[in-house]
Amino acid sequence: MAEQFERLERKLVHHGNIIDFYEDTVKVPNGNVVKWDFIGHKGAAAVVPVLEDGRILMVKQFRNALDRETLEIPAGGRNDVDEPFIQCSYRELEEETGYRCEKEDMEFLISIRTTVAFCNERIEVYVARNLKRSHQHLDEDEFINVYPYTTDELSRLIYEGKIQDAKTIASLMAYINKYVKN
C-alpha cells in the first residue's frame, strides 16, 4: 500500500531546538494531492532505573506543554541522529537522576514510536540495574527531583491518571510485564 502514496515535496517550515516542522505534499492512492504536517525528531532514549530493592527511580519535572509537573522515567533526546541510543541512555540516566551504571547493567527493553500520525520520534528504552550514586548534571533550564517508587505504587498512579506520559506508561508496563509479573 505504501507504493500508492508518493511524497512529492517536503518543505521545512521551522527548524527548532528539539524538532523540525515540515509541510509534506503527498499524492494519495486516489490521485489527489494533499498537504500533511510532519515533525522530524532526532530520537531519544529513556531508562527504567531499578534500585537494589526493586524500586524504580522516577523524575518529577515541569513540562511547558502541559503547564505542570509530571512524573516520568528519565529520558532525553539524542545529541544528533548518529548518537547511539544506548549512549544517550547512559547520559540521561546520570544527568537526570544522579545515578549511573556499568555497560553490562543496561539492557534494552522496548522501542516506542510516540506519535506515528505526524512525527517520526523513536524512543529506545532500557532497564538500568546495579546503580551507583554519582551526581546530577542538569541543563540550566532543568529542575528535576528524583523519587523512588515500587511497581505497585507506579501501577496505581498510572490507573489513577496521575502518570499520563506515554513513554513512561509503556515502559513501566513493559518492565512490570517482563520482570515483575512472571
Bridge partner residues of 48 (DSSP)? 127
Can you name the CATH fold of 42-180?
Nucleoside Triphosphate Pyrophosphohydrolase (3.90.79)
Residue 36 CA: distances (Å) to CA of 4, 43, 56, 141: 16, 21, 39, 32
Give Rg (Cα) of the chain: 18
Domain coordinates in residue numbering, the chain: 2-40, 42-180
Considering the entire predicted model, what is its pTM? 0.93
Q: Mind telling me the catalytic residues? A: 140
Provide the residue-wise pLDDT of the chain in tens; the chain has 182 residues: 556 999 999 999 999 999 999 999 999 999 999 999 999 999 999 999 999 999 999 999 999 999 999 999 999 999 999 999 999 999 999 999 999 999 999 999 999 999 999 999 999 999 999 999 999 988 888 899 999 999 999 999 999 999 999 999 999 999 999 999 86
CA separation for the pair 91, 153 (Å, rounded): 27
Bridge partner residues of 10 (DSSP)? 24
